[in-house]
Structure formats: structure tokens, C-alpha cells
Amino acid sequence: MKLFFLRHGEAAYNKHDDIRELTARGCDDVKRVAQHQRAALADVQRVFVSPITRAQQTADIVCREAHILATRETVDWLIHEMPLREALAALARLDGNVLLVGHQPLAGKLVESLCGLHAGTTSIGTANMIEMEGDAFISGALHIVHHQSP
């Protein structure tokens, strides 16, 4: 099973965090990552996206540019301030090849937990994609296969 985590692209400032939109650079960075990872993303069966605007825009771009036709679902458990345990519980129920589109600090915390890394050591930059692989989406069961930056 493969799990891809893509952090949203660079977003413009807005005092209302939930409606921040991608900048032109953010869009270009996501396109570049999607094009570089098109072959790896070919077998994605499900896409889960945070409901926040910049994550939705990022998912639109990556699905279009990487030709992902998989089922897409908007989920609250990918919001950046979601407790790690809730996101891990949701992931544990999944299988197959999955793409997640979300935010820091949750992105780094998920990668650390799923790959058995030390807590507080992982920060994922905007438009960065982490590809992980393993037998189950549970703590310590995955390993990092690839880290793609724009």
C-alpha cells in the first residue's frame, strides 16, 4: 500500500485562514510536483482533502496534472489543527493507494508517526509530497520512499 501526503501550495495572506487561496507560485509549484510524480500517482485509488480552500485548490491541480481519476473526498480529519490521534484513526481504516492533501503541522506529525520517526523532527514545505509505503496505515508501519519538492 502506498500513501502520498501533499502539503498545499504557497497561499496568499488573508486574515481568515480558511479562505486563503494559492498564489501563482503556489499553483506552479503544485503543477511541477504533480508532473514529476505522475507515474507514481497513477495507481492512486482514493484522494482525501482538507476542506480548507488552499488544500482544495491544490487537490484540483494535482488531480488534473497527474491525471488522477480516483474518488475524491473532503474530510475534516485533514484540517491542520486536527489532533493526530483522530487522523491516525481515520487512516487505519483505509487501504490501497491513497493521496492526502493537507497542512502543516499535521502533515509532519503524520509522517513521523506512520514512519516511526522522532516527534517534532519533520516539517513539510509547501507543495512538497511525501511518498510512503507499507502493509498498513498505522504508526510505525510505513517507510518513506520518496520526497518530492517543487
Please state the pTM of the whole predicted model: 0.96
As a whole number of angstroms, the distance between CA 137 and CA 135 comes to: 7
CATH topology of domain 2-148: Rossmann fold (3.40.50)
32: helix, strand or coil: helix
Average pLDDT over residues 78-97: 95
Q: What tens digit of pLDDT does each residue of 12-33 get?
A: 988 788 889 999 999 999 999 9
- Residue 5 CA to chain centroid, in angstroms? 3
User: For residue range 40-70, what is the model confidence (pLDDT) as tens digits?
Assistant: 999 999 999 999 999 999 999 999 999 999 9
Q: Are 95 and 41 in contact (CB under 8 A)?
A: no
* Signed CA dihedral, 63, 44, 118, 86: sign only: positive
User: Where do the structural domains in the chain lie, given as residue ranges?
Assistant: 2-148
